[in-house]
Structure formats: structure tokens, C-alpha cells
A and B are shown apart, each in its own frame.
Chain A
Amino acid sequence: MNALEVRHLKKSFGKVKAVDDASFDVPEGAVFGLIGRNGAGKTTTIRMMMNIYAPDDGEVILRGSAVTEEFKQKVGYLPEERGLYKKMKVWDTLMFFAEVKGKSGKDIEKKANEYLKRFQLVDRKTSKIQDLSKGNQQKIQFIATILHDPEFLILDEPFSGLDPINTDLLRQIIIELKNQGKVIIFSTHLMDFAEKMCDHIAMIDNGKIILHGSLAEIKRKFGNRNVNITYDGNISFLKNNPIIESIQDFGNTTGITVREESQSQELLKLLLENNVTIRRFNANDISLHEIFVRLAGDQNAEVVNV
């Protein structure tokens, strides 16, 4: 069952096609990553999903019917460029953002107090936002995002500009909400984060979705001729070997693609024979980063549907 279905979304600004016929599904209960480099069209896609931008064409379907303005009430949104009213007090800020989502009253006040206590900000209730440190402002922003108990959490580049403590805090929040069965959608250009946290992804490049589906299946599909190794020594002898299709060095690990799936054992033998010390050998494994470089490196890449 899909919670959200994005169908043929298009958006142009003047001559620039920011999003060009984007389609993908976000399943119920998923942690979904919208992945792509800066300027690929992630934020525009997210804004269209939330009805902040009206798409030129296409639609977003929420559990079977087109999204309406009411969808916004079900969403907690953390934009990439975060901001709060500087002169507003902490408590008033939280109540205001809950109220525009249609939530107010004792329950929300109780929850706000709980969150403030948990984030050690309970004594700052009457402080103005501008008097808080940047880290504490971010915490208030998190609380404002989730206070109204949203069914969907949409995070645009959530980890950019966060200090390590807040990065961890946000990760905890995401996991908690995931465990409560909420749908979490985030956009990022950080492949490592996406790989660690997502179970479904859509990859976007130049406004086009070039890949989407479950992360496990994508990795299986792309990983079947791929070997991921960590080693000491020299592997330059592999360069002209007929069984090797490509070699990519990622620093810590190296991704090697062989011509046929069965040749991975041959590759291992070859490495040992040439006195390369193997620390890790992962056949049929591929990082999201490799997939991205492979697909986005090629401008004519076709949409791969898994």
C-alpha cells in the first residue's frame, strides 16, 4: 500500500525545467529518501508534494485520492532553510505553529512541555527566539515540526548545518516516528545517510527521476556484478584485465564491476595471487554512491524501475 504516489509532476521556472515528469511511490511506513545533487530538483519536488508550489502538470495522490490543502495538517515539515520569528517567545512560537496545523489546547501544551523538558529547554519558555543559541533554535524548530503529531514527516536536507548533538537528536526523532508507523520522507545529497536510513528511495537528476524503488532491491539489481573490497597493496594490475568492466576508488573502499556475475570468485583469486591483502570482500554489494555515479554520470540514463 502506498501512502503517497507522485505522478508525472512537472514544474518550470521560465525556461528552466526544475522538475520534469517525476513519478515515484512512497509506501506506508517507509523511510523514503529523495536523493540527488544540489539543484537536481529535490526541494521543488518536495514543495509540490506539499502543495507549496502548484505543479504545472501532474498530481500527488494521498492514499488513493489527490492531495488537498488538508494534507498540510498531517505533515511536519523541516525546510532546508530553517527560520523562526526572532522576536517571538519560545512558547508562543510552539503554540503558533501547532495552531496553524489545527492543533491547540491542553494536550498540545502538555506535549510541548514534555518535549521542552526532554530537550532541556523548559526554562527557556519565555525567552525570545533571538536570545537562544543556534543549536537551541534548531531544537525549537524540531519541536515545532513534530508537536502536532504529524502522520508524515518531510525533511529537506535535514542534517545540513546541524551540530553533532542535534544530528543525533534528529536521528532519534526520525527513528521514534518510524517506529510509530509514521511515513518519513527526506531529501539529501548525502548518499551515506540515505543508505543508512532509508528503505525506499528515488534518485533525481536534472529534474528527472532516474531511479526509484526499494533500496534492498535496487542494491540487489545493481550489485550482482559488483564487488566491494577493502585492501592493502597495489591493484593497478587489474586495469587491463578482460574480466573487469570498471574500477571506482571511494577512498576507504573500492568498487569493482566484473563483466559477468560468476567472475567475482575469479577476481578474488586474482587479488590473492598478486599478494593483495584483503580486509573485506563483499560480492554482490554496491553503495548508493556508486549507483548514483553510475547513473548520474551518464546523462542519457534511462529510468530504471525496480
Chain B
Amino acid sequence: MTGGGTYARIVRVSVVRGGGFSGLVRTTSVATDQLSPGDRQKLAALVQQSGLDDAPAAPSSGEPEPDRFTYAVTLEDQGRTHTAGFSERSMPAGVRNLISWVSTVDGHEESIGPPGGGHR
């Protein structure tokens, strides 16, 4: 029993964080082929617990709030991609746990840049 369920073939999980008072965009991701077998299982379990698949692509709740973070979490499984968006207020605990794990696990990648993507 691995807890992987339907997410046994995850290729990559990416987290894009925007906003904050800087407006900067930070992207954090893990590719499963860079993870240890134990971490792969852990990731599959966290994805399953996050309920990500049922979450809408953009946060649905109300007006954006000044200088708060917003998130988009993308799950690449073999053959499909699903993105879900969250504000800090609307983020379920399971998604928060997933993001926190992805940001700290050995083998994760991280980049930071301006909003809009253009580097001068």
C-alpha cells in the first residue's frame, strides 16, 4: 500500500506564487524522477490528500486583496495536466501542506522573476 492511488504516475508538480507586496513570481517544482522512492510515495499521498483535482483553475472567491499571495498549482500526470488556483484565504490545508513539502524537499527546483515573465 503506497497511498499513490490514481496519482502513481505523477511526472511533475509545480507551484507558482505571485503577488505579495513585491508582485514577484516564484516558481517551485519537483520532477518525480529527481525524487527518492520514499519521497515519490509521499508526494503521491500529499497530492491525493490535497483534493487538487477537484479545485477550479482560478480562485473563485471575490475580489483580489492588496499585496496577498496567490497560487497556481499544476499537476502533470502522464498524459494530462491540471492546474488549480488559490488565494491565501481560499487555500485548503491539504494544498498548503503539499506546497510546503514541494518547497523544501530534496531535489526541488526554484526560480524567481518579475510578474509578466519579462526579464529586462
**A, B in one complex:** no
Binding site for A on B (CB under 8 A): none
Binding site for B on A (CB under 8 A): none
